Amino acid sequence: MNERRLDDLPGCERCELSLTRTRVVLGSGPKGATLLVVGEAPGRHEDLGGEPFIGRSGRLLRGLILDEWGLHDGEYLITNVVKCRPPNNRTPRSREIAACRPWLDLEALAWRPERVLAVGTVAARAVFGFNEPMTVVHGRVTPWGHGVGVATYHPAAALRGGPNVVAVMREDLRTLARWQP
Ligand code: URA
């Protein structure tokens, strides 16, 4: 049922981002994977290529997941809070996040991951309801679905902020990896 409804996602017109996107960027990864990574919204590369996190910040994030979790591309689930690129990569608006919410909920129901990693403040708010800055909430193990999750910095922040931000992201990934059900 959930998967059938997810079949409607490529044609979604629930908000105005449908007018400017090239394509809806669907979540990807194998059903049954333990880890779900949730980002903010597709950028230019993702809008053209149709997959989450395939640009520069995605390379950084995917490298950290490989280092800290030993997981290669295709061995974990990855999606975004908002499935269509906002023009000029602006932050998604509240009404766009709200309009897209049912898709994230359907993905979570269909995939039932044990752990979720929310990257960036938009994902941290959408997934865990965190309203405080990332400096405060990152690395906090939080119940989610039938498992737990952690928020960390967005890899774009790490590209700007350098090795200190990357070090914090690594520690947050390790925190989530260490959690035992
Ligand atoms: N940034 C995101 O939050 N998601 C992507 O898919 C790409 C860049």
In the chain, where the domains are located: 6-178
Q: What is the pLDDT of residue 146?
A: 86
DSSP state of 161: H
Q: Per-residue pLDDT tens for 33-86?
A: 999 999 999 999 999 999 999 999 999 999 999 999 999 999 999 999 999 999
List, in sequence order, the alpha helices (H) in the chain: 2-6, 44-49, 56-69, 94-111, 121-128, 134-137, 155-161, 163-178
Is 29 close to ligand 1, i.e. is its CB under 6 Å away?
Answer: no
143 SS3 class: strand
For the CA atoms of 167, 51, 24, 138, the dihedral, rounded to the nearest 10 degrees, stands at -10
Is 121 close to ligand 1, i.e. is its CB under 6 Å away?
Answer: no
Q: Is 166 left (phi over 0), alpha (psi -120 to 50) or beta?
A: alpha
For residue 81, which atom of ligand 1 is closest to its CA?
3
Is 27 close to ligand 1, i.e. is its CB under 6 Å away?
Answer: no
Within 10 angstroms of residue 178's Cβ, the number of other Cβ atoms is 8
C-alpha 43 – ligand 1 centre gap (Å): 6
Is 57 close to ligand 1, i.e. is its CB under 6 Å away?
Answer: yes
For residue 53, which atom of ligand 1 is closest to its CA?
6
Q: What is the pLDDT of residue 162?
A: 87
25 SS3 class: coil
Which pTM does this prediction carry?
0.96
Q: What is the pLDDT of residue 2?
A: 66
Query: Which residue type occupies 63?
Result: G
C-alpha 84 – ligand 1 centre gap (Å): 10
Query: Which residue type occupies 119?
Result: V
Is 153 close to ligand 1, i.e. is its CB under 6 Å away?
Answer: no
Task: Assign 180 a pLDDT band (cuts: 50, 70, 90).
Answer: confident
Is the CATH number 3.40.470.10 carried by domain 6-178?
Answer: yes
For the residues 164-179, what does the mean pLDDT come to? Answer: 97
Q: How many CA atoms lie within 13 A of 47 on its CB side?
A: 17
Is 113 close to ligand 1, i.e. is its CB under 6 Å away?
Answer: no
